[in-house]
Amino acid sequence: MKRRDFLVKGLGAGFAAGLLAKHSNIFSAESIISPSKGSFDLVAVMGGEPDAMFDRAIASMGGIGKYVKKGMRVVVKPNIGWDKTPEYAANTNPLLVKRIVEHCLQAGAKEVLVFDNTCDQWQRCYSNSGIEKAVKDAGGKIIPGNNEGYYHPVNIPGGKRLKQTKEHEAILESDVFINVPVLKSHGGATLTIAMKNMMGIIWDRGYWHRNDLHQCIADFASYRKPTLNVIDAYRVMKQHGPKGVSLSDVTTMKALIVSEDIVAADAAAAKLFGLNPSDVDYIRIASEMGIGNMNLEKLNIERIKI
Amino acid sequence: MNAYLKYLRQGIGLLFFITLTLSFLGISIPIIHTATWFQFIPSVLKFLTIATAVGFVVIILLTLLVGRVYCSFVCPLGILQDIISHIAKKFRKQKIYRYSVPYNYVRYGLMAAVLVSLLSGSIMALLLLDPYSFYGKIVSGLFRPGFITANDHLSKWLESLHIYITPIGLKNFSLFTLIWSSVLFIIIILFSYRRGRLYCNTICPVGTLLGIISRLSVFKIRMKSSVCTRCGKCSSVCKSECIDIRDQKVDFDRCVGCFNCLSVCPENALTLVPDYTRKPTPEKETDNHSRRLFLEIVATGVIGTSIAASLKAQNHNTSHSNKTPIRRKHTVTPPGSVSLDHFTAHCTACQLCISQCPTHVLKPSIREYGLTGLLMPYMSYSESFCNYECTVCSQICPTGALLPLTVDRKKTLQIGKVIFIKENCIVFTSETSCGACAEHCPTAAVHMVPYKGFLRIPETDQNICIGCGACEYACPASPHKAIYVEGNPIHLQALKPRENTLETETPTEFPF
């Protein structure tokens, strides 16, 4: 009996030690920056690697612990829409996604789910974007978004054109929803950033396209407000978006924007891209609807250069 | 030793059967290329364009050595019949097989019809009778939709338990194919329920052809009349019903090489031996008879196939809307098919590409290629589109109807051209933003240009379009789409997508 106990305990301890070793990077002191009071409306970072920029930004926002409490279910929703590798910037940077998942788990999240309702064949998107591996390496779960059965009808009370749509159940069951778009040009919507990224948590996108795309994007943002918006502008697709054709469409900007206000986040990203926020119709509409604030002068912004 | 042959047959047979079945269900199996390389009819067809596709030569040599082992070791339809009759044995009254005479009129007639049909340039007879493709239609058309539906329901249910498995998604489902495949499956059940391999020895042209070749086999199953006690055990397990106990003869023409008889004979009277004692006299009579039959039926075949060819249906669309319907002049054929003519002359509609396509853009045709192209795959953009970097269908095609492509070649291979119908476009009709087509285009052949105010409308460039159908799939206009792909009857070379360098500067300071 004693011998058996010893073996069982020994195995358990060994397993735990292995786990610690595997995730040791998230316990190491230098990667975690002690959080500030977090009174900023928006934090913008420039000049670092995607993961390092997120470390700095989230610390300025008050630390991930402000949003993610022990035992919570977290959904991280990057843009994984296209069967493209990271350097084409058609999808969110996998390093950033990985870092966010690590932060959430370290804050004690029960589980961190990642998905997108992709445009290209979903398995190829998940794997070629590098996001599937990044999420698994970080200890999160990458879940499918390609089956209509996962989507349930929800009402949009404040919607002008969009009154009802079907939303993925992972979002409906989540405690925390972190929206992680990539900043890109977009043939139809001018830019795709945080509000546009939410088209990946609903089922019938065609309805939005048929019924005034800009209004529908704003309508949905009036209903679903992410806990946090993290905009990846490390590599930015400046033309031929959202899918892109070649590497000549992409520029390296090395920037990141974090905000609880989805309209402010989109407005700041539009500026980075070189456009006025009001040039993007859904940002203007959303601001007018009072969903958020696109007047960046009126916001308390932290600007960090690495 | 005798029983060993039967186990060898079961082992190899199951390997082929399982590989092909899983592949037709849509699962990716690495050894599928080997399993299809040996399939007789696909190999013959592929040999016409690719000289290394000599699987059928191996089969002929094997037949010349030990008879029609192809039918029991390699052919999935044959193995399916073995499985059906094995299960049926438990239910049917008559538990044993008995010797029967061959239906030579039907056998040789059908084989002649296939030959005549091929000589007259139509693949239709093979499309209907090739046993490998026959099996593919059953699994892909009937069992695959069930498999996908079951998998997706399971995945949905497991998600409620927070367990995540891969949903597949039933796209481009065809009810007609389901019904057609069900009929084929019922036919096979009816043939094999009581009579074992009756189908293989009556209908199947490959069975008949290999039967003729097996007359020259070096090794044959022979009955030593001096040792045989006429106990009848061999005959009772012979699925081909070709062992005649009364005359102590084995009709080796019809023997499918299952080796059941060898394993049951208590006296070892049945053996697979080199055929030294060739007795030409009785067989010659059959030969003459067959020859006459063959000629008689050639005429019927010619008439049959010409009727079939004349039945080629015309594409026609009806218009009853205020908007402009899509009028496609040519069906879009899969990448690697070279041309409409090459494709429809080589495809046996085995459905392997349809099952294996990761985006499910391929759909079995009903009228798209006319009656003679029934169930051949075509690009159906209503529920999906072709992935820019994928070449699965061209790699997997066993008949050479689709020739292998590299990813680079595929990226500029134009299977069709984009056509924009402005009066159907949402930007034109409702004056709101859309751009779903341009969003999905991999080459920017569809791109957005300034229209009214801040609105942007699609513009197309056919030179760089490859016809993947992403725009057509994504177009949300209804009832008629505003953009579609017109098929190229001969596939062309598209120009490479344009690379224009960025003019804007990347900010180094915060612009806010």
pLDDT at position B89, please? 87
pLDDT at residue B304 is higher than 60: no
Q: Between B21 and B512, name the one with better pLDDT.
A: B21
Tell me the residue ranges of DSSP E strands in B351-412. 362-364, 377-379
State the complex-level ipTM: 0.86
Min Cα distance A110 → chain B (Å) is 12
pLDDT at position B91, please? 87
pLDDT at position B278, please? 52
When pLDDT is cut at 50, 70 and 90, the band that residue B314 belongs to is very low
pLDDT digits (tens, 9 = 90+) for B413-452: 999 999 999 999 999 999 999 999 999 999 999 999 999 9
Least confident of A230-239, A279-288, B307-316: B307-316
pLDDT at position B499, please? 83
Under an 8 A CB cutoff, do B454 and A186 touch?
no
Residues of chain B above pLDDT 90, percent: 76
Pairing mode, if any, of strands A182-186 and A190-192? antiparallel
pLDDT at residue A209 is higher than 80: yes
pLDDT at position B163, please? 84
Under an 8 A CB cutoff, do B506 and A253 touch?
yes
A14/A18 Cα distance (integer angstroms): 6
Least confident of A29-38, A78-87, B296-305: B296-305
| φ, ψ (nearest 5 deg) of residue B41 | -65, -50
Q: Where do the H-state alpha helices sit in B401-493?
A: 407-410, 426-429, 436-440, 470-474
When pLDDT is cut at 50, 70 and 90, the band that residue B323 belongs to is confident
**For the residues A247-263, what does the mean pLDDT come to?**
96
Min Cα distance B58 → chain A (Å) is 38
Establish if B476 touches chain A: CB-CB under 8 angstroms.
yes
pLDDT at position B210, please? 97
**For the residues B87-98, what does the mean pLDDT come to?**
86
When pLDDT is cut at 50, 70 and 90, the band that residue B96 belongs to is confident
When pLDDT is cut at 50, 70 and 90, the band that residue B219 belongs to is very high
pLDDT at position B361, please? 97
When pLDDT is cut at 50, 70 and 90, the band that residue B122 belongs to is confident
Min Cα distance B360 → chain A (Å) is 10
Min Cα distance A34 → chain B (Å) is 24
pLDDT at position B506, please? 82
Least confident of A25-29, B155-159, B328-332: A25-29
Residues of chain B found within 8 Å of residue A255, distances taken between Cβ atoms = 507
Of the partner residues B500, B504, B512, the one whose CB lies closest to the CB of residue A248:
B500
Under an 8 A CB cutoff, do B448 and A188 touch?
yes
Residues of chain B above pLDDT 70, percent: 90
Least confident of A200-209, B304-313, B502-511: B304-313
Instruction: Check: CB of residue A270 under 8 Å from CB of residue A277.
Output: yes
Under an 8 A CB cutoff, do B433 and A213 touch?
yes
Instruction: Check: CB of residue A182 under 8 Å from CB of residue A78.
Output: yes
> Under 8 Å CB-to-CB from A262, ≥6 apart: which residues?
A179, A194, A195, A221, A225, A226, A229, A286, A291, A292
* Tokens standing for residue B74: 């390699």
pLDDT digits (tens, 9 = 90+) for B397-411: 999 999 999 999 999
pLDDT at position A24, please? 44
Establish if B456 touches chain A: CB-CB under 8 angstroms.
yes
Under an 8 A CB cutoff, do B387 and A281 touch?
no
Q: Which residues of A189-206 are buried (b: 16+ CB within 10 A; e: fewer)?
A: bbbbbbbbbbbbbbbebe
pLDDT at position B285, please? 45
Closest CA to B123 of B347, B295, B284: B347
Closest CA to A233 of A43, A4, A45: A45
**For the residues B86-103, what does the mean pLDDT come to?**
89
Under an 8 A CB cutoff, do B156 and A149 touch?
yes
B residues 334-373 closer than 8 Å to A (CB): 358-359
pLDDT at position A158, please? 94
pLDDT at position A147, please? 87
B308/B304 Cα distance (integer angstroms): 6
Under an 8 A CB cutoff, do B389 and A124 touch?
yes
A279/A264 Cα distance (integer angstroms): 14
Sketch out chain B's domains with CATH numbers: 2-280 (no CATH), 340-493 (3.30.70.20)
**For the residues B336-347, what does the mean pLDDT come to?**
96
Instruction: Check: CB of residue B398 under 8 Å from CB of residue B39.
Output: yes
pLDDT at position B508, please? 87
Residues of chain B found within 8 Å of residue A141, distances taken between Cβ atoms = 164
Place of tokens 């997120």: A54
pLDDT digits (tens, 9 = 90+) for B353-368: 999 999 999 999 999 9
Establish if A120 touches chain B: CB-CB under 8 angstroms.
yes
DSSP secondary structure code for residue B339 in this structure: B
Min Cα distance B395 → chain A (Å) is 18
> Under 8 Å CB-to-CB from A91, ≥6 apart: which residues?
A78, A79, A80, A81, A82, A84, A125, A129, A131, A182
When pLDDT is cut at 50, 70 and 90, the band that residue B284 belongs to is very low
How far is CA B444 from each of CA A186, B172, B335, B361, rounded to the nearest angstrom? Answer: 12, 26, 19, 21
**For the residues B192-217, what does the mean pLDDT come to?**
95
Closest CA to A272 of A40, A41, A46: A46
Place of tokens 């429809």: B344
- What pTM was computed for the model? 0.87
* Tokens standing for residue B226: 């001096």
When pLDDT is cut at 50, 70 and 90, the band that residue B319 belongs to is very low
pLDDT at residue B505 is higher than 80: no
pLDDT at residue A30 is higher than 70: no
List, in sequence order, every residue forming a beta bridge with B459; answer none if it has no partner. B447
Q: Between A11 and A79, name the one with better pLDDT.
A: A79
Of the partner residues A186, A245, A301, the one whose CB lies closest to the CB of residue B512:
A301
Under an 8 A CB cutoff, do A83 and B388 touch?
yes
Torsion angle of alpha carbons A166, A167, A173, A179, nearest 10°?
Answer: -170
Write out the DSSP string of B294-334.
Answer: HHHHHHHHHHHHHHHHHT-PPP-----SSSPPP--SSPPPP
Question: Residue B69: helix, strand or coil by DSSP?
Answer: coil
pLDDT at position B12, please? 97
